[in-house]
Amino acid sequence: MNTSTQLIPTTLPLQDRSLLRDACYINGQWVKANSGAMQSIHNPATHELVGRVPICGEIETRDAIQSAHLAMQEWSAGTAAERAKVLRRWYELMLENMNDLAVILTSEQGKPIIEARSEVKYGASFIEWFGEEAKRMYGDVIPTHMKDRRLIVLRQPVGVVAAITPWNFPIAMITRKCAPALAAGCSMVCKPSPETPLSALALAELAHRAGVPPGVFNVVTGDAIKIGGEMTRNELVRKLSFTGSTRTGVLLATQCAATLKKVSLELGGNAPFIVFDDADIDAAIAGAIISKFRNSGQTCVCTNRFLVQAGIHDTFVEKLSHAVVKLKVGNGMLEDTIQGPLINQHAVEKVEAHIADALKQGARIITGGKRHSLGGTYFEPTVIKDVTSAMRMAREETFGPVAPIFKFSTEAEALQMANATEFGLAAYVYTKDMGRAWRVTEQIETGMVGINVGLISTEIAPFGGIKMSGIGREGSKYGLDDYTELKYMCMGLS
Ligand code: NAP
């Protein structure tokens, strides 16, 4: 192994420069790629070089898996309280270093620094929560069916976990996986997105300082196909946890089938945001802004479609447009920025293509609609009305700062439109009628529903989707299930 402890020179305003790493973290060591190949990471706001990370492949991934396999034996044999103590320290270190983690995150991802700090807190909350949950990983005693038998169910760690994560939440998407995994007694090898690997490496540095034993948590950066190929082929890996697009999720699940790995998939969405005539319109506008424009529209639970009832439609369009023009677009490092740049040119092109398709078919722009005068990957926060189910933005995730507004007349029609998608992650409903809130919640085909709220994510509730939005749940008391296996013991008393 090619090891390294060298720090890269940086202009980032960091208190602790040793959080910015240029090597992978394998078996407790900072490691370069065997080939020596490196990839540069650029700030999407300024295009400046932020850092460099190794381009690893199968060999380094195999090393990481092997070390995770060996490390897990001792880690899982310890008590839950011992693991909780280490996780608690990791959580505290994340909060102590919140500002530096947020600076690294914003520099490679672009989101406003305020949102980055929130993500660090949100990400850390999973480590705290699952450290505590580890102590409640109960088994069961089943009333016996025979006088001389006793039936017991144990919950045991599933084994080495491979995690592949996206760029939109570079910290939280990792901690949602590693916290339950490590709490349950598993070890993990994580491949972060090539857009945002520096946040993952900073997390690894803090894991090291917290006393996570070598091999228990590993980060391998580099070639997705090679790393993902080894992760899904290797028999020592017993579970894959993936967050990203549906297309990649389906591919990885298929690759895992040959070795029958357990799979958790957190995939794409197409969230409807339904506003009924009886809604508190100002609350709906506030919810719409947070649910649509957080992270410049690049969250999986982002509203993708606003479905607004005819009686309130025109007022909603007007009020939403007034709120949207006030969103300050700029470099995420500035404290007053509300909306940063999109992650890359490909993302901008997708947003443009969706808008062009909608306009061609009769939709009308109320505000925004084009690249921002700041240039680069900045895009104007956009409201577009007269959108119909024939348009691309009705079916596909736009993943950008575009609020398309559809009109409906009846509750039945709203439900039919909301469910007319292959995705089923999140939905939002604004109404004062509690009977309707229950009816719609029960009939809507999503894993999560916000009633009169636009922000629903928390470590204490189960996060996940149905249909093509995924398999499994992250966070909450249910979040440990995906990282454990049940073992049934039948004891004869003779
Ligand atoms: P993506 O293109 O699917 O990539 C996600 C991760 O998978 C990246 O690390 C990527 O690395 C890797 N990857 C891609 N192809 C691979 C392969 N063949 N083998 C192994 N790894 C591979 O998704 P994204 O654009 O980064 O993320 C945005 C998507 O994630 C959206 O659809 C969003 O809705 C979804 N998301 C879902 C949730 C949720 O909880 N449901 C949360 C956040 C985001 P490379 O970039 O190197 O290919």
For ligand 1, atom 10, the nearest C-alpha belongs to: 193
pLDDT of residue 8: 55
Report pLDDT for 5: 46
Q: In a mutational test of the pocket of ligand 1, which residue from 173, 176, 243 has the highest number of ligand atoms less than 8 Å from its CB?
A: 243
Q: What are phi and psi of 354, to 5 degrees?
A: -65, -40
| Structure confidence at residue 436 as a pLDDT band (50, 70, 90) | very high
Average of per-residue pLDDT across 67-88: 98
- What is residue 234's three-state secondary structure? coil
Tell me the mean pLDDT in the region 193-209: 98
Rounded mean pLDDT, 146-158: 98
CA of 444 to the centre of ligand 1 (A): 26
Residue nearest to atom 13 of ligand 1 (CA): 224
Distance 224 CA to ligand 1 centre (A): 10
pLDDT at 3 over 60: no
Tokens of 483: 């990282």
User: Is 266 among the residues known to form the active site?
Assistant: yes
Query: What is the distance in A from the centroid of ligand 1 to the CA of 140?
Result: 37
CA angle 329, 19, 173 (to 5 degrees): 60
Q: Do the Cβ atoms of 16 and 24 come closer than 8 Å?
A: no
Spell out which residues line ligand 1, taking CB within 6 angstroms. Answer: 164-169, 173, 191, 193-194, 224-225, 228, 243-245, 248, 251-252, 266-269, 300, 397, 425, 465, 470
- Residue where the block lists tokens 């736009």: 398
Mean pLDDT of the chain: 97
CA-closest residue to ligand 1 atom 26: 166
What pLDDT does 2 receive? 56
E strands present in 63-181:
140-142, 149-157, 160-164
Ramachandran region, residue 47 (left: φ > 0; alpha: ψ -120 to 50; beta: rest): left
Cα 366 to ligand 1 centre (Å)? 32
Catalytic residue (one of 266, 396, 459, 474): 266
Ligand 1 center to 483 CA (angstroms): 21
Rounded distance from Cα 166 to ligand 1 centre (Å): 5
Residue 11's pLDDT is what? 81
Per-residue pLDDT of 356-413, as tens digits, reads 999 999 999 999 999 999 999 999 999 999 999 999 999 999 999 999 999 999 999 9
User: pLDDT band at residue 260, thresholds of 50, 70 and 90?
Assistant: very high
**Coil/strand/helix, residue 231:** helix
Distant-in-sequence, close-in-space partners of 251: CB < 8 Å, separation ≥ 6: none
Tokens of 261: 């790995």
DSSP conformation letters of 1-48: -EE--PBPP--S--S-GGGSBSSEEETTEEEE-TT--EEEEE-TTT--
Atom of ligand 1 lying closest to residue 225 CA: 19
Active site residue 411: no
| Residue for token pair 């006030």 | 326
Nearest ligand 1 atom, CA 463? 40
- Tell me the pLDDT band of 320, cut-offs 50, 70 and 90: very high
What is the pLDDT averaged over residues 195-213?
A: 98
CA 459 / ligand 1 centre spacing (Å): 21
Probe ligand 1: pick from 111, 255, 300, max atoms within 8 Å of CB? 300
Catalytic residue among 115, 300, 396, 459: 300
The predicted-structure confidence for 328-365, as pLDDT tens digits, reads as follows 999 999 999 999 999 999 999 999 999 999 999 999 99
**For residues 488 and 152, is the Cβ–Cβ distance under 8 A?**
yes
Over pLDDT 90: what percentage of the chain?
98
Q: Which of 237, 248, 423 to mutate to test the pocket of ligand 1 (most atoms within 8 A of CB)?
A: 248
Write the pLDDT tens digit of every residue in 306-319: 999 999 999 999 99
Atom of ligand 1 nearest to the CA of 223: 47
